[in-house]
Structure 1
Amino acid sequence: MTKPLRKPDAIFFDWDGTLVDSLPALNGYYNHVLAVYSKPAISIEEAKRNIRRSAREVFPEVFGDQADEALNVFYDYVSKTHLEHLEVFVESHDFMAELATLNIQLGIVSNKKHSFLLKEISHLGWDKYLVSNIGAGEAAKDKPEPDPLLLAASKIGLSPEVNEIWYVGDTETDMMAAVAAGFQPIFIEHGLGDRSDCEKHGLAPYFVKDLLQLMELVKKYA
């Protein structure tokens, strides 16, 4: 059962589908690599399923023995194009600016490659808000394991045993990681997943429709 919410000492966010509207770009990245290996393109819906896991998890299933090589092709293409394709949800900038005034530590835990994540945060000018950011490959395991969430918290001297820590994400993978880490799971419904995904896995997070509703929830306890 989900614990009652309290004033958060920190809020960590997923990135793609939570603060960043990145599905069209990610679909393009996957299809670029598939084309290089003469594989059929995938639809937005298929990309939507793949994005829930890191590329280093998905590629062995798709490319088999060529997974490492394909991953290099993927990362090379993303590194050259990801900033020009970066799009945030319309309310994201105002949300981050207002949230930063509430004396709550903020950070990102994403399955996006760590170096790409940091560049995107900097490109948006959000490094002034975000104090602890972890991308794929920084922890021993990526989400849905709790490792990256716990690493992000430990970097700023927090632990779920002592502190109230929220984790906001848009997929059941995010909620699994939050529950496993002992963070408060907050599911935002404007992204890649929906409530039924949580129900299938026996998850019972707090639900918010979008960032505006999330701000109302934060202010209720802040």
Structure 2
Amino acid sequence: MLNPFRPVVLFDFDGTLADTIPLIVESYHHTLRASALPPVDEVEVRSWIGRPLQPVFEERYPGRGAELTATYRDWNLAHHDELIVRVDGMPQLLKQLVHKGVRVGVVSSKRRSTVEQGLRVVALAEYIDVLVGMDETTAHKPDPAPLLFAAEVLAVDPSQCVYVGDADVDVLAAKAAGMASIAVTWGAGTADVLQSLEPDALVRDVTELERVLLPSG
């Protein structure tokens, strides 16, 4: 396994920096109920996480992508602040990274404004040097474009970056961008699936993530 330490750490947001998985799953379930569509089991819903909303809906329900996206966003934003939860230890980790001179960014498939709101709710906004949402690029994870855009904004080579995420698209995007990849198991993806993609590291809690990002010695 390669040492994934890098001077730039880019994070996914949902399921990585913040526990938004219950919010996302219930937003999808509400959207299907409100739109008179058959229910979908949670395993499939979780497989949608990490990709932009409209392409997911359009692929599953052709011709209804825009409508379903609007329904989802209305409910999600109305319940956002009450259902989003901090990941234990994450504020302390980001503070430690910044203190050590590591530059920190967020690359998400959500709209920039929604990620900004989420960062404020979990009190992480002050640590972020760059934020890339779905607004910034036309291609999205697992395409490397959003990650490469973040590296460009920071004026660093992608090889100097590590991307931390909880979904298969996060690992795939990092590999395609030429970045180190760290998969976390407290979000949407299962450990078995994430490990099968051979990330540079697989971690199960923030303490373990800190040891990988800031190795001693």
| Fold equivalence (TM over 0.5) | yes
Report the number of matched residues.
217
Equivalent residue in structure 1 for 2:205, among 181, 199, 210? 210
Q: How far has the Cα of 1:80 moved from its partner?
A: 2.4
**Distance in 2 of aligned mates of 1:191 and 1:74:** 20
**Distance in 2 of aligned mates of 1:82 and 1:6:** 33
Task: Write the letter of the residue equivalent to 2:214.
Answer: K
Task: Write the letter of the residue equivalent to 1:212.
Answer: T
Equivalent position of 2:168 in the other structure: 172
**Distance in 2 of aligned mates of 1:21 and 1:44:** 16
**Distance in 2 of aligned mates of 1:194 and 1:111:** 19
Q: How far has the Cα of 1:159 moved from its partner?
A: 2.0
**Distance in 2 of aligned mates of 1:6 and 1:80:** 38
Q: How far has the Cα of 1:36 moved from its partner?
A: 1.8
Q: Which runs of no fewer than 5 residues in structure 1 stay unpaired?
A: none
CA RMSD of aligned residues (A): 2.0
Shift of the 204–119 alpha-carbon distance from structure 1 to 2, 3 Å rule, reads closer
Shift of the 98–139 alpha-carbon distance from structure 1 to 2, 3 Å rule, reads same
Task: Write the letter of the residue equivalent to 2:168.
Answer: E
Shift of the 205–115 alpha-carbon distance from structure 1 to 2, 3 Å rule, reads same
Residues 23 and 47, structure 1, Cα contact 8 Å, conserved in 2: no
**Distance in 2 of aligned mates of 1:86 and 1:49:** 19
Equivalent position of 1:184 in the other structure: 180
Quick check: 1:196 aligned with 2:196?
A: no
Aligned pairs for 1:71-220 within 5 A: 71-160=69-158, 163-198=159-194, 200-201=196-197, 203-220=198-215
Equivalent residue in structure 1 for 2:61, among 59, 63, 80? 63
Shift of the 5–200 alpha-carbon distance from structure 1 to 2, 3 Å rule, reads closer
Task: Write the letter of the residue equivalent to 1:137.
Answer: D
**TM norm structure 1:** 0.88
Residues 12 and 167, structure 1, Cα contact 8 Å, conserved in 2: yes
The secondary structure found in structure 1 opposite 2:14 is coil
Residues 183 and 203, structure 2, Cα contact 8 Å, conserved in 1: yes
Q: How far has the Cα of 1:140 moved from its partner?
A: 1.7
Q: How far has the Cα of 1:104 moved from its partner?
A: 0.4
75-84 vs 125-134, which moves further? 75-84
The secondary structure found in structure 1 opposite 2:9 is strand
176-185 vs 192-201, which moves further? 192-201
Task: Write the letter of the residue equivalent to 2:15.
Answer: G
Equivalent residue in structure 1 for 2:11, among 5, 10, 13? 13
Residues 143 and 174, structure 1, Cα contact 8 Å, conserved in 2: yes
Equivalent position of 2:28 in the other structure: 30
The secondary structure found in structure 2 opposite 1:97 is helix
- Alpha-carbon deviations, 1:153-189, whole Å to 9, x = none? 11111122xx521111112210100000011011112
Q: Which runs of no fewer than 5 residues in structure 2 stay unpaired?
A: none
